[in-house]
Amino acid sequence: MYFSDETQKKSRRLTEKWQDEVQETLKSNPDRKDRFSTVSDLDIKRLYTPEDLKDVDFARNIGAPGEFPYLRGNQVTGYRGRHWTFRMFSGMGSARDTNARWHMLLREGQTGLSTAFDFPTLMGYDSDSPKALGEVGKCGVAIDTLEDFLELIDGIPLDQVTTSMTINPPATILWAMYCAAADIKGVPLAKIGGTIQNDMLKEFIAQKTFMCPPEPSIKLISDTVEFGAKYVPRWNTISISGYHIREAGATAIQELAFTLRDGIEYVEDVIRRKKMDVDDFAPRLSFFFNSHIDFFEEVCKLRAARRIWAKIMRDRFGAKNPRSLWMRFHTQTAGCSLTAQQPYNNIIRTTVEALAAVMGGTQSLHTNSLDEVFCLPSEHAVEVALRTQQILAEETGVVNTIDPLAGSYFVESLTNEIEEKTWEYIEKIDAMGGMIAAIEKGFPQMEIADAAYKFQRQIENKEKIMVGVNKYVTEAQHAVPLMEIDEKMGEEQIKRVQDVRRKRDNHAVKQSLTDIRTACKSGANVMPCCIEAVKNLATQQEICDVYREVYGEYRDPGLY
Amino acid sequence: MSARKIRVMVAKPGLDGHDRGARILARCFRDAGFEVIYTGCHQTPEQVAAAAIQEDVDLVGLSCLSGAHRILFPRVVELLKEKNASDITVIGGGIIPEQDFQMLYDAGIKAIFTPGASLDSIVDWIRASIQTRDEHH
Amino acid sequence: MTETTAKICAGDIRSASRLIRDLEDRIPEARPRLKQLFQYTGKSFIIGITGAPGAGKSTLTDALITEFRKQNKTVGVLAVDPTSPFSGGAILGDRVRMLKHAEDEGVFIRSLATRGALGGLSQAAGDAIHVMEAMGKNVILVETVGIGQQELDIIHHAHSVIVVLVPGMGDEIQTMKAGIMEIADVFAINKADRPGAKQLQTELTGLLAASPLTPGAWKPPIVSIGNLYEPAAFAEQTAELARKISDHHAHLLASGQLSHRMERQALIEISDALKSCILDPLLRELTDSGELKRIAQKVKNREADPYTEAEALARRFLKSGEK
């Protein structure tokens, strides 16, 4: 028991007395509204007391940093040992443009890189594909071949900086480019570090950048896990993501539950398909969460995440290595919480969300820029976003002690509640036969669609407020200087890729593609052939087309 | 004469798959009594135009968050014109900076609804616009 | 021939879709246009595809379109989805699964809402089929939701009815006992790679064997279709489904049953049209004048009975002749 009988009794007495006074007060001073709830619609009580923690066992449920269940963090010295990585998601136009922005961010104190690709690259199409019309370079960097990639990482010391790449169906290919680039720069694979997002289950659930059906998609993911475990030990080959699930309209609990259940599915597949021991690869699994506007809900969600994953790894998978039990995650502040109205307000939102991520113990963080409701961030806007992290780290003192919110009656109670409800979802999906089965039935997709619609209705009837949108609305427009991507950039990129196709050894490319096809058909690991192919300047669409050919293309069920 | 049911199409042209808004709109339009053809994401402008004509919709709502609206939205309008279907109203939404609005209006997009626009305002706009069009017929 | 009729007979999609719309919305000019088209109908092969939501009907419809296009047949598709009883609106999302045919000039896909029709197909759906027939479509696929004894309108319109079942949904037995058994000409077990497929097949076969069959009657075959993502097998299985459907069509022609079905359909259409031209205006007039309400009050208070009232009204209106 967390509190002694004595304390509990005293608390009960005081709480009862307080309740009486509350009833009195409400008679003449009613609450502002009938119901107080989080942005995810969880009910929050007026007061939390020791009674809310009466079943909590301090050692088993809360414990110390660096100790199972890792509620208070994976590292024994927390942020006193090291700040979280300031890792700003960034990419725009051509590789050259992005490289310039990357150097600027590193100069301004960013400590890790994170790559945003344009839609054609994300979907496995070259810049000159008809499907790429109007999309080249617009929401991220356009990468067609290794030549583009080498420009992208120009001047970046690959053995000193870690790079995250938000890429899913073509993840094997972009990672192959990174490995090939390292090779060309003389950096051994054992020394490069980074992450590929490479999480297809959340694509089927939420983000919808898909290519091949679920089964083969997971096979490709397991290939990367295997290759990484053997040859690129500092690389996180999956970033099991909840961010996009949340952006699609999920509640905090759905975000957490579906993400963790995706993780379970991946672990099961690697063990089954690659016959690997869980401790051989689990230390390199990583996660990616959203940090939304309801401060305490997010802090509690992230803490609960660590505790649940540790239990899953130890109890469900029998992991022995403590590092297998660590949940390491990157966080991004919530894009969907930002408003187009009064955009400077977004700075405040991002700040609160960043603070929640830090209080939740994130390993690395991206903060959105105020203008991202309109377009890619301008230099000035991204600078403010980066400074937000630096101010939190250097000025506010919140990093002086580890997991400062622990022990709060509210925080521990809410953490427990979120954990409980998350387990319910996990068990439900288990009963359906796993995540792939659940996706086939449309379960997570419909849960999310219902939650999104419910939230929208709550905004419409002002049950939930968004400042500037349904309250404190002004007619005045606050113009924000916006960045533009030139259409000319697209035309140049098209010329580039066509040039590469002409100049390269097309015979070698054809052979590489054949080798990949053979690997796919035989079930062998595709990574070695991918690396070979990208070195020969195969385009990323050419390799994706092989995947499409062998594995088929996923058909969107169009659920609403 | 009985009131016509309003038929609208919600489509996402281009490669962007962020369909939260589009799906919410589909539900909202259904709740407003419209018949909604929901075609999902990853549509080419050609597919959108062909579907709009086959379904005889009053209005097509295009959603795009990837920045490709500048090329893709006008293309849909153009294709409808080529097929003699300019009477189909085209509106747009998504991540669209204000500096692009005029260019889209010039290209024939009749209204743009950015994040934060209330669902009711969109429904009202659609009803009013169709009523005006019918009165001119 | 009017311009509209000419356009539709020439296959113009816009005019056809607009007429379907006018018929759905009951625009007065629509019925005369349909009358003009009627003589050009009656030459298409109409296939109904029904089954519970989630059975994968649209995916199979999409595959059948591919098969028929391979045979150079032109195809019309009516994809029917339910209207919300609360708002009167509907989300019509079936065409998402037929995207690859969107630009094929030989395929016309039209989504329709049930608009409250209890049997699953609105009056307008039947009209829409006629419009597509007049366009010269060789095959018309009508996809509807059919889960209970209610949604069986499809049998009045289709020559061949395909019932799609899926293993593991738990309601197959209900479905099978609820009348679907009698209407199916071909059974498709979809997603047959799921657990329970073998069991479903066995149960279905058993039920079919137990039902009485007259000699020379058609024995509904069962076609199993597996994982959509095993393209070679899927293509083969859907081709088999198309073959069985064509076999049924051939049987209908050879046995004279097609003629019989079309006569039955004509009877139903006349009866519906009679109801529409007698009952609708009658009820409308009675409602508008308030008389219906007054009569209802009398009946409620047991001052009159509904049967006598109806007989009196009928005599009055039929005598007056005009309506």
Quick check: is B108 in a domain?
Answer: yes
| Predicted pLDDT at C148 | 54
Dihedral sign from CA coordinates of B35, B41, B45, B50: negative
Contact B5 C95 (CB under 8 A): no
Closest to A535 in 3D by CA, of A127, A165, A194, A183: A183
Closest to C79 in 3D by CA, of C68, C90, C67: C90
CA dist A298 and A293 (Å) reads 8
Average pLDDT, chain C: 88
* pLDDT category of residue B137 using cuts at 50, 70 and 90: low
Structure tokens at A440: 């086939």
CA dist C79 and C58 (Å) reads 8
Closest to C169 in 3D by CA, of C206, C195, C133: C195
pLDDT tens per residue across span A147-187:
999 999 999 999 999 999 999 999 999 999 999 999 999 99
Contact B26 A487 (CB under 8 A): no
Per the CB < 8 A criterion, the answer to whether A389 and A368 are in contact is no
**Total residues belonging to chain A:** 560
What is the C-alpha end-to-end distance of chain B, expressed in Å? 15
Please give the C-alpha separations between residue A399 and each of A163, A358, A417, in angstroms, as whole numbers. 24, 8, 26
The predicted model gives C107-124 an average pLDDT of 86
| Predicted pLDDT at C170 | 60
CA dist A498 and A145 (Å) reads 10
| Predicted pLDDT at C183 | 82
The predicted model gives A431-459 an average pLDDT of 95
Please give the C-alpha separations between residue A151 and each of A100, A178, A382, C9, in angstroms, as whole numbers. 10, 12, 22, 59
CA dist A270 and A259 (Å) reads 17
Sorted by sequence, the CB contacts under 8 Å of residue A189 that are 6+ apart come out as A179, A182, A183, A231, A232
Residue C318 pLDDT more than 60?
Answer: yes
Per the CB < 8 A criterion, the answer to whether A374 and B95 are in contact is yes
Residue C171 pLDDT more than 70?
Answer: no
Closest to A310 in 3D by CA, of A103, A72, A118: A72
pLDDT tens per residue across span B43-71:
999 999 999 999 999 999 999 998 899 99
* pLDDT category of residue A559 using cuts at 50, 70 and 90: confident
CA dist B35 and C90 (Å) reads 5
CA dist C149 and A504 (Å) reads 65
Closest to C145 in 3D by CA, of C286, C51, C39: C51
- The domain in which residue B65 lies consists of 7-135
Quick check: is B90 in a domain?
Answer: yes
Please give the C-alpha separations between residue A273 and each of A219, A266, A277, C320, in angstroms, as whole numbers. 8, 10, 11, 81
Contact list, A458 vs chain B (CB under 8 Å): none
Neighbours of chain A (3+ CB pairs under 8 A): B, C
CA distance A201 to chain C (A): 16
Closest to C120 in 3D by CA, of C185, C26, C195, C57: C57
Sorted by sequence, the CB contacts under 8 Å of residue B101 that are 6+ apart come out as B112
CA distance A336 to chain B (A): 9
Contact list, C59 vs chain A (CB under 8 Å): 555
3-state secondary structure of A334: coil
* pLDDT category of residue A480 using cuts at 50, 70 and 90: confident
The predicted model gives C173-177 an average pLDDT of 60
Using CB atoms, which residue from C54, C91, C229 is nearest to A560?
Answer: C91
Residue A444 pLDDT more than 90?
Answer: yes
Residue B92 pLDDT more than 50?
Answer: yes
Using CB atoms, which residue from B23, B69, B115 is nearest to A340?
Answer: B115
Contact list, C93 vs chain A (CB under 8 Å): 558-560
CA Rg, chain A, in Å?
A: 24
SS (H, E, C) chain C: CCHHHHHHHCCCHHHHHHHHHHHHCCCCCHHHHHHHHHCCCCCCEEEEEEECCCCCHHHHHHHHHHHHHHCCCCEEEEEEECCCCCCCCEEECHHHHHHHHCCCCCEEEEEEECCCCCCCCCHHHHHHHHHHHHCCCCEEEEEEECCCCCCCCHHHHCCEEEEEECCCCCCHHHHHHHHHHHHCCEEEECCCCCCCHHHHHHHHHHHHHHCCCCCCCCCCCEEECCCCCCHHHHHHHHHHHHHHHHHHHHHHHHHCHHHHHHHHHHHHHHHHHHHHHHHHHHHHHHHHHCHHHHHHHHHHCCCCCHHHHHHHHHHHHHHHCCC
* pLDDT category of residue B1 using cuts at 50, 70 and 90: very low
Contact A340 B116 (CB under 8 A): yes
B19 close contact with A: CB closer than 8 A: yes
- Domain tally, chain B: 1
Angle of CA points C50, C53, C57, to nearest 5°: 50
Question: Top-level CATH class of A60-460?
Answer: alpha beta
Q: Strands, E, within A347-475: which ranges?
A: 364-366
**Boundaries of every domain in chain A:** 60-460, 487-551
Which single residue is written with the structure tokens 């609960």?
Answer: A304
Contact A340 B114 (CB under 8 A): yes
The predicted model gives A248-257 an average pLDDT of 98
Residue C310 pLDDT more than 60?
Answer: yes
CA distance B57 to chain C (A): 9
> What pairs with residue C78 in β-bridges?
C110, C142
CA dist A65 and A76 (Å) reads 5
Quick check: is B1 in a domain?
Answer: no
The predicted model gives A335-351 an average pLDDT of 95
Which single residue is written with the structure tokens 């037929």?
Answer: C98
Angle of CA points A455, A168, B97, to nearest 5°: 55
B53, closest residue in chain C (CA to CA): C14
Contact C97 A442 (CB under 8 A): no
Residue B33 pLDDT more than 60?
Answer: yes
Q: Which CATH number characterizes residue B102's domain?
A: 3.40.50.280
Structure tokens at B48: 């959108």
> What pairs with residue A142 in β-bridges?
none
Picking from C111, C114, C122, C287 by the largest number of B CB atoms within 10 A of its own CB, the best residue to mutate is: C111
pLDDT tens per residue across span C183-233:
889 999 999 998 889 988 888 888 888 777 777 788 999 999 999 888 889
B11, closest residue in chain A (CA to CA): A558
Per the CB < 8 A criterion, the answer to whether C125 and C21 are in contact is no
* pLDDT category of residue A481 using cuts at 50, 70 and 90: confident
Contact C110 B54 (CB under 8 A): yes
Dihedral sign from CA coordinates of A554, A560, B6, B9: negative
Residue A476 pLDDT more than 80?
Answer: no
CA distance C172 to chain B (A): 29
| Predicted pLDDT at C182 | 77
Per the CB < 8 A criterion, the answer to whether B47 and B12 are in contact is no
Contact A469 B116 (CB under 8 A): yes
CA dist A238 and A201 (Å) reads 11
B27, closest residue in chain C (CA to CA): C91
Picking from A453, A549, A555 by the largest number of C CB atoms within 10 A of its own CB, the best residue to mutate is: A555
Quick check: is B2 in a domain?
Answer: no
B78 close contact with A: CB closer than 8 A: no
What is the C-alpha end-to-end distance of chain C, expressed in Å? 28
Residue C149 pLDDT more than 60?
Answer: no
Using CB atoms, which residue from B5, B34, B54 is nearest to C25?
Answer: B5
Using CB atoms, which residue from B40, B44, B99 is nearest to A556?
Answer: B40
* pLDDT category of residue C146 using cuts at 50, 70 and 90: low
* pLDDT category of residue A458 using cuts at 50, 70 and 90: very high
Where is average pLDDT lowest: B13-22, C122-131, C143-152, C283-292?
C143-152
Closest to C112 in 3D by CA, of C195, C202, C21: C21
Residue C126 pLDDT more than 80?
Answer: yes
pLDDT tens per residue across span C31-54:
999 999 999 999 999 999 988 888
CA dist A429 and A162 (Å) reads 35
Quick check: is B127 in a domain?
Answer: yes
Residue A543 pLDDT more than 80?
Answer: yes
Structure tokens at C143: 């996809």
Contact B40 C96 (CB under 8 A): yes
Contact list, A554 vs chain C (CB under 8 Å): 229
Per the CB < 8 A criterion, the answer to whether C2 and C35 are in contact is no
Where is average pLDDT lowest: A145-149, B97-101, C180-184?
C180-184
Neighbours of B40 (CB within 10 A): 24
Closest to C314 in 3D by CA, of C264, C265, C272, C278: C278
- % residues pLDDT > 70 (chain A): 100
3-state secondary structure of A110: coil
Per the CB < 8 A criterion, the answer to whether A158 and A187 are in contact is yes
Contact list, B26 vs chain C (CB under 8 Å): 91, 93
pLDDT tens per residue across span C54-63:
888 999 999 9
Average pLDDT, chain A: 95
Contact list, A215 vs chain C (CB under 8 Å): 229
C95, closest residue in chain A (CA to CA): A558
Angle between helices C57-70 and C231-255 (to 10 degrees): 70
> What pairs with residue B93 in β-bridges?
B63, B113
Residue B40 pLDDT more than 90?
Answer: no
Closest to B126 in 3D by CA, of B29, B46, B31, B41: B29
C17, closest residue in chain B (CA to CA): B56
CA distance B99 to chain C (A): 33
The DSSP secondary-structure symbol of C84 reads P
| Predicted pLDDT at C169 | 63
Q: Count Cα atoms within 13 angstroms, Cβ side, for C89.
A: 22
* pLDDT category of residue C2 using cuts at 50, 70 and 90: confident
Interface of A with B in 148-207 (CB under 8 A): 203, 207
Whole-model pTM: value is 0.91
Using CB atoms, which residue from A213, A552, A558 is nearest to C96?
Answer: A558
CA dist A496 and A499 (Å) reads 5
Closest to C158 in 3D by CA, of C53, C44, C75: C44
For chain C, list the domains and their CATH numbers: 3-255 (3.40.50.300), 269-321 (no CATH)
| Predicted pLDDT at A400 | 97
CA dist A226 and A470 (Å) reads 50
Number of H helices, E strands in chain C: 14, 8
Structure tokens at A421: 């409800």
